[in-house]
């Protein structure tokens, strides 16, 4: 492992393997019942109580239209800590933690994956499997997600 190696948590959405910076991960938990929020886009499932904090839950499978949108005891929520906020994302599964260096990364393709390349850090191959590195900070705080919009407003 070289000095600039970074650790990533890999997860699956449908048949694709993705990875996000492990330092943003607060915890991984099972999917629990959520409280629906009116006038929210369908991919925002609602809010849950995370030890006293009211945390929104985003289903990335709905957002990017991949994978099977079912909720059972195996449904996984990755709770992330992003820009001082807590957000939970629903994914199909969590697989592994990988350590990657910069030179293992290839630039992301402009199309062909569900995510806009703006939210991608690059591609990497681990164990002959392609992993898409997601810039999770950028993605979750993007305007498209509509989660942080009020923060920008009130901050200004």
Partner 1 sequence: MPIDMKQFHAVFFEESQEHLEEMEQLLLDLDIVNPDAEMLNSIFRAAHSIKGGSGIFGFDALASVTHVMESLLDKIRQGKMMITAEMVDLFLSSVDQLKEILRCYRTNETLDWTQVQGLTKRLELVTAGTVPFTIPATSVVVDEDAFGFFNDEESAKEEEHGFFDEPVPEESFGFFDEIPDPVSAPIAIAKSASTEAYGFFENFTPAETLATSSPAITPFAVSVSNIKDKVAATAKIKNSEPIHVESSSIRVDVVKVDQLINLVGEIVITQSMLSLLGKSLEGTLGEKFQAVANELERNTREIQEAVMSIRMLPVSFVFNRFPRVVRDLATKLGKQIDLIIEGGETELDKGLTEKLVDPLTHLVRNSIDHGIESAAVRIEHGKNPMGTVVLRAAQQGGNIVISISDDGGGLNRERILEKARENNIPIGENPKDEDIWQLIFAPGFSTAAAVTDVSGRGVGMDVVKRNVQSLGGRIDIESRAGQGATFTIHLPLTLAIVDGMCVSVGEQTFIVPLVNIVESMQPASKDIKTLAGDDQLLHVRNEYWPILPLYKVMQVEPKFTDVSKGIAVLVETNKYRFALFVDGLVGQQQVVIKSLEQHYKRVQGVAGATIMGDGSVALIVDVESLALTVNNIMQLATAV
For residue 130, what is the enclosing H or E element? Answer: strand 129-134
Q: What are the two backbone dihedrals, phi and then psi, of residue 137, each rounded to the nearest 5 degrees? A: -60, -45
CB nearer to partner 1: pick between 15 and 84: 84
CA-CA distance, 38 to 46, in Å (whole number)? 9
Residue appearing with tokens 């630039």:
107
Q: Does 85 bind partner 1 (CB under 8 A)?
A: yes
Decide: residue 38, CB within 10 A, 0-12 exposed, 13-18 middle, 19+ buried.
exposed
Span interacting with partner 1, options 8-16, 51-59, 93-101, 108-116, rule CB under 8 A: 51-59
Q: Is 114 helix (H, G, I), strand (E, B) or coil?
A: coil
Nearest distance from C-beta of residue 40 to partner 1, angstroms: 8
Nearest distance from C-beta of residue 55 to partner 1, angstroms: 5
Nearest distance from C-beta of residue 117 to partner 1, angstroms: 27
CB nearer to partner 1: pick between 53 and 102: 53
Residues at the site binding partner 1, with contacts judged by CB under 8 A: 33-40, 46-49, 52-56, 85-87, 146-151, 154
């Amino acid at each position: 492992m070289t000095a600039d190696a970074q650790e990533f948590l890999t997860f699956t959405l449908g048949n694709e393997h993705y990875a996000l910076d492990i330092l943003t991960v607060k915890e991984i938990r099972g999917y629990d019942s959520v409280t629906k929020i009116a006038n929210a886009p369908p991919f925002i499932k609602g809010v849950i109580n995370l030890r006293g904090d009211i945390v929104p839950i985003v289903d990335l499978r709905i957002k990017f239209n991949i994978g099977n949108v079912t909720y059972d005891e195996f449904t996984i929520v990755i709770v992330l800590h992003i820009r001082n906020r807590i957000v939970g994302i629903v994914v199909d599964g969590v697989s592994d933690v990988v350590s990657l260096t910069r030179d293992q990364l290839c630039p992301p393709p402009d199309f062909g994956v569900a995510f806009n390349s703006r939210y991608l850090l690059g591609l990497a191959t681990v164990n002959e499997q392609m992993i898409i590195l997601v810039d999770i900070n950028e993605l979750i705080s993007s305007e498209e997600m509509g989660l942080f919009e009020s923060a920008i407003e009130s901050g200004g």
